[in-house]
């Protein structure tokens, strides 16, 4: 049990509000996704009691166990980690959102395997904006074709983009990478894709991401503590 989770959430929400006001965006337009990977169901229950409903997980099997243990709560689960082909069925059956789609093959499997009784899986495409050695994510060059193909799949709803930039040394460097992601996002919207989600910013770069147009920050450490 960690009695400070509620305090941490209040502090993070205040930081989001301040960053949002500084950037001139409408309060409430930046969503908070609590990244609960490695933390047990009790920590998620505490975060839910403090008002959060959306949780992000990286490791599929760990997540499925947690989702099952928390069926009594009205939670929304987001897959934010790499997905191997042999895990797509678990993801399609248990999650509400996936932020980490970066290949058409994975998207096709998710669409085929999404159970008919569930709403379409909400999807973001992970884009590798800075060419970092973390090789996950589609390149900016390949993004438009992948986005059009994913948008056409029947059981997926394409909502936007997700980025995980390499750690940067200065605020200006962080903002430059986030601005590039925002430009890719806006270009897809110009092409007519009805996107509303730019998933960027974590505990360390939340304010920089919001300043550059993030609509959803994924925060683990600042809520639950060091993993
Ligand atoms: C772990 C993780 C986060 C949360 O990172 P913190 O630094 O703990 O806030 C966000 N996004 C992704 C994709 C992650 O894997």
Ligand 1 binding pocket includes 164 (Cβ within 6 Å) = yes
Q: What is the pLDDT of residue 114?
A: 98
Q: Which of 15, 16, 35, 164, when mutated, tests ligand 1's pocket best, judged by the most ligand atoms within 8 Å of its CB?
A: 35
Element at 57 (helix H, strand E):
strand 54-57
Structure tokens at 63: 């997540």
Q: Is the CB of 220 under 6 A from ligand 1?
A: yes
Q: Please report the atom of ligand 1 found closest to the CA of residue 162.
A: 13
Shortest-distance atom of ligand 1 to CA 99: 13
- Measured distance CA(3)–CA(191) in Å, rounded: 47
> What is the pLDDT at residue 133?
64
What's phi and psi for 109, nearest 5 deg? -65, -40
Predicted TM-score (pTM) of this structure? 0.96
Q: How far apart are CA 136 and CA 127, in angstroms?
A: 8
C-alpha 82 – ligand 1 centre gap (Å): 12
Probe target for ligand 1 pocket from 12, 54, 100, 202, with the most ligand atoms within 8 Å of CB: 202
What are the φ/ψ torsions at residue 192 (nearest 5 degrees)? Answer: 105, 0
Q: How far apart are CA 162 and CA 98, in angstroms?
A: 10
* Tokens representing residue 5 in the block: 């989770």
Alpha carbon distance 154, 113 (integer Å): 11
Which DSSP symbol is given to 81?
A: S
Q: Which sequence spans correspond to the domains of the chain?
A: 3-224
Q: Which atom of ligand 1 is nearest to 219's Cα?
A: 9
pLDDT of residue 134: 65
pLDDT at 2: 55
Q: Using a 6 Å cutoff on CB, does residue 35 contact ligand 1? A: yes
> 141 in helix, strand or coil?
coil
- Going by C-alpha positions, the residue among 75, 74, 72, 106 that lies closest to residue 92 is 106
Tens place of pLDDT for every residue, the chain, 227 residues?
455 999 999 999 999 999 999 999 988 899 999 999 999 999 999 999 999 999 999 999 999 999 999 999 999 999 999 999 999 999 999 999 999 999 999 999 999 999 999 999 999 999 999 887 667 899 999 999 999 999 999 999 999 999 999 888 899 999 999 999 999 999 999 999 999 999 999 999 999 999 999 999 999 999 999 99
Q: Which atom belonging to ligand 1 lies closest to the Cα atom of 80? A: 13
State the burial class of residue 76 (Cβ atoms within 10 Å of its Cβ: 0-12, 13-18, 19+). Answer: middle
Residue 1 has a pLDDT of: 47
In whole angstroms, what is the distance from residue 122 CA to residue 56 CA?
13
CATH fold of 3-224, please? TIM Barrel (3.20.20)
């Amino acid at each position: 049990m960690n009695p400070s989770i509620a305090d941490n959430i209040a502090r993070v929400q205040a930081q989001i509000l301040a960053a949002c006001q500084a950037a001139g965006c409408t309060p409430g337009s930046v969503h908070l996704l609590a990244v609960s990977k490695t933390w047990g169901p009790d920590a998620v229950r505490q975060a839910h009691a403090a008002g959060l409903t959306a949780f992000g997980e990286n490791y599929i099997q760990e997540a499925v166990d947690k989702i099952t243990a928390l069926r009594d709560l009205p939670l929304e689960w987001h897959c934010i980690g790499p997905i191997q082909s042999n895990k797509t069925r678990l993801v399609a059956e248990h999650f509400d959102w996936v932020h980490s789609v970066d290949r058409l093959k994975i998207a096709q499997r998710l669409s085929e395997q999404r159970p008919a009784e569930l709403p379409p899986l909400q999807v973001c495409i992970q884009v590798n904006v800075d060419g970092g050695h973390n090789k996950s994510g589609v390149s900016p060059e390949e993004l438009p074709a992948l986005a059009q193909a994913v948008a056409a799949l029947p059981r997926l709803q394409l909502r936007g983009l997700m980025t995980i930039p390499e750690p940067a040394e200065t605020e200006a460097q962080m903002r430059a990478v986030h601005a590039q992601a925002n430009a890719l996002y806006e270009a897809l919207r110009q092409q007519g894709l009805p996107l509303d989600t730019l998933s960027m910013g974590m505990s360390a770069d939340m304010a920089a991401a919001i300043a550059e147009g993030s609509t959803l920050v994924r925060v683990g450490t600042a809520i639950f503590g060091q993993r």
